Structure 1
Amino acid sequence: MYGRSGSVEAEAVGVQDDGLVLLPFGSWDGITAGDRVELISGGTQIFPNDSWIGTVVDALGAPISRAQGRKRLGHGRGTRSSPPKTFDRRRVGEKLSTGITCIDVFTPLCRGQRLGIFAGSGVGKSTLTAMLARNTDVDVVVIGLVGERSREAREFIQDYLGDEGMARSVIVVSTGDESPLLRRQAAWTATAVAEHFRSAGRQVLLLIDSVTRFAMAQREIGLAGGEPPTTRGYPPTVFSELPHLLERAGPGPEKEGDITGIYTVLVEGDDMNEPVADSIRGILDGHLVLDRKIAEQDRYPAINVQRSISRMLPDCHTPEEYRVMLAARRMLARYADMEDLIRVGAYQIGSDKEVDIAVRFFRQANQFLSQSRTEKISQDESFAAIYRMVLEAGADDPLADLPQ
């Protein structure tokens, strides 16, 4: 559209009897009725290449972290593409090391898996995301910061991610003050960048923070286009766009790499069953639940083991690892059942042998599962420590009857 102050790019988001409904990528300033409108065909194109690594770009792929531009190498890539066909894809690959004990032992992550981090506000979501970006064993990390506050975006990059994490990362940023089109576009652009590196044979970690804000942006767009609000005010296109975005991550075809997707989900009032969270959970291959109660005990990452699952189990663990994990999970679950009684002093040690074992295990494991944001623990070290704690708590040896 061409107005008094220059041109403004917009997108058609709805159709009415007397014409199209347009929504601008920027501001309507200078645009009036009767201004000329010109169709731009082809959609948004980006030109990702290795020079993007270590940079921050906006939702349209323009650099915002460096004064100099970058060369356009190779062919442009559209930001809205279809995922690989089901039977062209390889299956999910081998286990990835994240350096985070709670994930590596209880909710393991595999190459090409898609995992959600479900959390309310202020329970360590950004810290956990940065730990995954720094520690996970991949070639390239692509991070999409969707609808973040400007201060938090800068803080995440400089303080949480740091120079070590930035050295292998591409960050796509769209702040909360930008238009809903740009906030939605940031998730598409980050996914397209990850697809570029997957096509080049790289192992890619794609982090989208947060997919909830992507859904909120699509809600604004849908309502502006005249869609009827349905479940909790979300129009139907929200629930059709979510699988289209999430399915683009995952294993690539033969001779290509994988995109391991991590998507954060903001839950309103810690309600894990609200419509967007429920829809996303049904699409992904597992989820981590960050628990406010655990965060209030100052244990970070505040992952609730009982409520978190990885659908890659048991295949991604060795038989030995799986048995150790099951033994530890059972004791944590038993402790959780009795926790209220234990805390108020209503349970007396010696009343139940199984509970006594669970209490001893919890006291050791709860401390071990707490990690600082700079701490990295290998998978072998994590399993060895958990196995030792199982035995020291007095539980039966989970490996005693394992065939040699």
Structure 2
Amino acid sequence: MAFVNENFLKLQANYLFADIAGKVKAYKEACPDAEIISLGIGDVTQPLCPAVCEAIRKVADEMSSSPGFHGYGPEQGYAFLREAILKNDFLPRGIDLCIEEIFINDGAKSDTGNIQELISSDAVIGVTDPVYPVYVDSNAMNGRTGEKDARGRWSNVTYLPCNAENDFIPKLPDRTIDVIYLCYPNNPTGTVITRAELQKWVDYALENDVIIFYDSAYEAYIRDAEIPHSIYEISGARKCAIEFRSFSKTAGFTGVRCGYTIIPKDVTAKTRQGGSIALNPLWLRRQCTKFNGASYISQRAAEAIYTPEGKAQIRSVIDYYMHNADLMVSTLRGLGFDVYGGENAPYVWMRTPADISSWQFFEDMLLGANVVCTPGAGFGPSGEGYVRFTAFGTHEKTAEALRRISEWTEDLRNN
């Protein structure tokens, strides 16, 4: 008889954004004339840039002929893309990597969820809180997180609160952990980490044999020249950190699916016998077994964003979204809300007023303004009392949503 993996039963019934979609669907069914604008889901709205589209057309023609057809590719990715990544994303920042340390994937979500397969089932994880749900949920599926209490906290997870009271700067753990997840620019708070603060984490990891899983999917949105784009800008990080990158929000690849993971050859984990083993060859072994590689088409498309034309076009799209972020921050602050992020990231994190719960605020705004945000409680215990807005809408719908929020807020204050 086959028994279910009961760790799945410990998870809430739906993924956060599936819950949101369900509530929005129910509201639309009850109010079919309502025109809903979503500032909640982090999907992009701008089309693929011309350089990428031209690359896709070219590779489609290539694949239509026998000489140009490509079937299974290398599981770690084609050399042409890995070399472009190395040349454009790392060498200009003085980061010395080799292409064997670069693994192409079908988007950062897959690897951030799967990377924990490399560590033991009894490893203790630490997360900044609030946090991208995939980090914790993927560990819960493998039985690493313990039991969840009434507040939504897992017994075997070390939570490092990030909130307005500590300026969204996580403190180093006061208990032993084995792995720490860091995400900067942060999803959901939209905040960033300074070079000095990140150095503290790398030093801590080196001193305590901790591995850092560093999600930098939003690094292209950093506008402050003093903020690091990669953890490998920090001394010692090659020995303790694995970094994840994505083309989804950088180049609109949420539907194309392509990203990459960096695993330096220097990163090791302990064995039960007292030795250590490099994780780079283990990940290659894992990928060769469970992953057939990102498609040739998506990798050629990703290569195109590193051309001079591609870089300029991508920068224009990022500026487009950051214009939305600027407008959201200024409008919401003008309405008297406490607002964070949105300066070096496409996310705006807002405190709910008058101790209103995040889910209640979500429902009130949906009903009162027909605008969707993301309840902060869905990102962890410290997310309660906050909501997240994304800058990935069109200018027109973002402006209209903010107009509705302004009217709704004024109506509440006048009643």
Pair in the same fold by TM > 0.5:
no
Q: Which has the higher contact order (CA 8 A, sep 6+)?
A: 2
Higher helix share: 2
User: Which structure has greater strand proportion?
Assistant: 1
**Highest Rg: 1 or 2?**
1
Provide TM-score, normalisation by structure 1: 0.31
